[in-house]
Amino acid sequence: MELTLVLLVVVIALAFEYINGFHDTANSIATVVATKVMTPGQAVMLAASTNLIGALAGTAVAQTIATGLIDSNVVTVTPVVLICALVGAIVWNLITWWWGLPSSSSHALVGGLCGAALGAADNNWGAIIWAQGGLHWWGEKGVLPKVVLPMVTSPVAGFIIGLLLMGLLFSLFEFLGSITGPLQKFGRTRFANAFFGKAQLVSASAMGLAHGLNDAQKTMGIIALALAGATASGALEHIPWWLHFLRVDEDANHQFEIAIWIKVLCALIMAAGTAVGGWRIIKTLGLKLVKLHPINGFAAETASAAVILTASHFGIPVSTTHNISAAILGVGVAKRVNAIRWTIVERMVWAWILTLPVTGGIAWLLVEAARMFGWAQ
């Protein structure tokens, strides 16, 4: 029975990754599609390849998801707990996708995981690692330093970098325009569009790489957590030989080793999701929020990628959604404040605020329902 539940966790985790594809990966390619530098099909291919490279490049974020948020000494993270966490995140992702709101799959997963763990621990808040090591708000692990604080600081950083970079480019074109004349319209001449159209291929690739290095690893962490738990409990002792790839190496210094097949599968599933359903989010970010030209797309992608790559290095599961959205806002404000459609911004912010408590609440209710039906202790 436990093996069946473990396999179900893997399947649902991949379903979450698929939804993440048309929810979050769409954010990473929204600007390059909106500026017409690439077609949606070309952007998806670029995202697929760069996501795969990013997914294979490290495991710091996966380690945080697997070991840095829930205290295994207080609560046992069973397959049922993981299923409830994933379903809670999936439900919220589908709701916000239907509304066309670029909310965070990262925070949806974290909220679901914390809510499910809290329910499984009989509402013992000690099941959640709030902060460990270092300063209270900046420890080596925990929800406060790894999720809550970056949830505020990373979009602010994306906004400021996008604003400053766009301002720098505007100043450069004004200076050149004072000499040559035709370049003074803030980079919207044929030359500037051609130049930054090519530059956007680099910045969009950086966004895809950053997204794979951060977002793809979150599902990897969930799958690794499920497989490690099943290996430790002996549920995988007598499985058929063709399922041996599921077992985790117990001699790997008690760390969660992410198998290559998990990395590749997560990246491919994410790309498939992007190809199928990402257009709703692309329209909100790339078309409704502010009108973008290649120079704007380049600045937004560069700013967002810089923040996400930095966070990934430190194992911080930040939101691609929040960062690219904030960077686009910074770029838009650099053009002029009234270039932003602030009603769209208000809806996005509400989605950001509600994600953690709503997904946590859904997952908690699912754990309680599982107990009611005798599916969990």
| Residues 6+ away with beta carbon under 8 Å from 70 | 77, 113, 114, 117, 127, 128, 129
Task: List the alpha helices (DSSP H) in the chain.
Answer: 2-20, 26-34, 40-56, 60-67, 79-98, 105-120, 143, 149-180, 190-233, 260-277, 279-282, 294-313, 320-335, 342-372
Supply the pLDDT for residue 285: 56
Residue 377 belongs to a domain: no
Give the residue ranges of the chain where pLDDT is below 50. Answer: 183-184, 186, 252-253
What confidence score (pLDDT) does residue 132 get? 85
Per the domain annotation, does 375 fall within a domain? no
**Alpha carbon distance 364, 324 (integer Å):** 30
Q: Coil, strand or helix: which one is 142? A: coil
Query: Residue 55: its pLDDT value, please?
Result: 82
Query: What span, in angstroms and rounded, lies between the C-alpha atoms of 369 and 373?
Result: 6
Rounded distance between C-alpha atoms, residue 39 and residue 182, angstroms: 28
Q: Which domain holds residue 331?
A: 2-122+134-359
CB-based contacts of 337, cutoff 8 Å, min separation 6:
none
Helices and strands, counts by H and E, the chain = 14, 0
pLDDT at 252: 47
What's the rounded Cα separation, in Å, for the pair 271 and 29? 11
26-34 vs 260-277: helix crossing angle, rounded to 10: 50
Identify whether the C-beta of residue 131 lies closer than 8 Å to the C-beta of residue 142.
Answer: yes
- Classify residue 273: in a domain, yes or no: yes
pTM: 0.87
Tell me if 311 is assigned to some domain.
yes
Which residue blocks in 121-259 are alpha helix, DSSP H? 143, 149-180, 190-233
User: What is the number of structural domains in the chain?
Assistant: 1
pLDDT of residue 253: 44
Q: Which amino acid is at 357?
A: P
Q: Encode burial over 353-374: b for 16+ CB neighbours within 10 A, e otherwise.
A: ebbbebbbbbbbebbeebeeee
* pLDDT at residue number 205: 93
85 located within any domain = yes
| Residue 287, in any domain of the structure | yes
pLDDT of residue 184: 47
Is 127 part of any domain? Answer: no
Best CA proximity match to 69, nearest among 85, 83, 92, 91: 85
Read off the amino acid at residue 10. Answer: V
Residue 281's pLDDT is what?
58
Residue 369 lies in a domain: no
Residue with tokens 């769409």: 26
